[in-house]
Amino acid sequence: MAVVEETGATVTAAPRPRGGPLRSVRDSLVVAKRNLLRMMRIPEMVVFGLVQPIMFVVLFSYVFGGAIMVPGQASADATVYREFLMAGIFAQTVTFATAGAGAGIADDMHKGLIDRFRSLPMARGAVLTGRTLADLVQTALTLVVLAIVAVIVGWRVHDGVLKALGAFALLLLLGYAFSWIGALIGLSVRTPEAATSGGLIWLFPLTFISNAFVPSSKMPAVLGHIADWNPFSATVQASRQLFGNPEGVVSDAWPMQHPALASVLWSLLIIVLFRTLAVRKYRSATA
């Protein structure tokens, strides 16, 4: 469709898509399939994505496991710490996928692929939704492998399969929410390298100022309060409860008293906010 502006210039605009929500779902699934096929053709993307979380499991389990004492225990016990640790490693894995999501979108922008999608009669936001859904599938596969490694090093689920599946659902919801932050970063920078750096620089303080690796009760008061209200901490705490793993000393902060509900609310809030910002950025972005 050609549009003639007052200046006399002719601009090519995509026809308005029709079909409503069903069209949006179909377009999103088509884009998700495209990204999944791309991942299958480049298996090293998945393999390298597994290396870091497996390294964290092994290093924290065997290097720090015997030196860190979980509150409530008489002495440092490597087995107890491994069970305390794993929910944090799972959560860190799903959130660190944000950097890869941002880099992928930035790469598509750099190659002009986003502009091609924008010229098609597709539902607005379908490109980003499809990309984040594909990243969610990859994250789920990573969690499966990581859970197997965790079992090998001594991690166990104590409250049944259904609750464990609920914990993994909360983790994937958090990962999906953070993938929208990655999408916004990817649309806001010029190169994939910048997206990777921008995606990691804020994730380290987010994950380490939390209850993932040490209980918040062992932190200075200010950092402990921040950790208790950290969305990341809520998901970690909820996962520990559902897995039946050691929780350490739980603070009186509302998210720590109701971690499952807090995890869902935080994740939904992040999705709504950053999806809105990302889709708005997508509409105006140029390669």
Element of type H or E holding 14: none
Average pLDDT on 55-59 reads 81
- Confidence label for 4 from pLDDT (cuts 50, 70 and 90): very low
Residue 109 φ/ψ, nearest 5 degrees: -65, -45
If you average pLDDT over residues 228-248, what whole number do you get? 92
Q: What is the pLDDT of residues 109-160, one digit of tens each?
A: 777 777 777 777 777 778 888 888 988 998 998 899 899 988 988 888 998 9
3-state DSSP call for residue 45?
Answer: helix
User: CA 26 to CA 21: how far, in whole Å?
Assistant: 9
Amino acid, single-letter form, for residue 244: G
Q: How confident is the model at residue 75 (pLDDT cuts 50, 70, 90)?
A: low
| Other CB atoms within 10 Å distance of the CB of residue 204 | 11
Whole-angstrom Cα distance, residue 31 to residue 60? 37
Query: pLDDT tens digits for 192-204?
Result: 888 878 878 888 8
**pLDDT on residue 12:** 46
C-alpha 112/C-alpha 220 separation (Å) is 48
Residue 1's contacts (CB-CB under 8 Å, 6 or more residues apart) are 12, 13, 14, 15
pLDDT tens profile 33-46: 887 887 777 777 77
pTM over 0.95: no
Is the pLDDT reported for residue 6 higher than 50? no
pLDDT computed for residue 77 by the predictor: 65
Please give the mean pLDDT across all residues of the chain.
Answer: 82
Cα 145 from Cα 152, distance rounded (Å)? 11
Residue 91 has pLDDT above 80, yes or no: yes
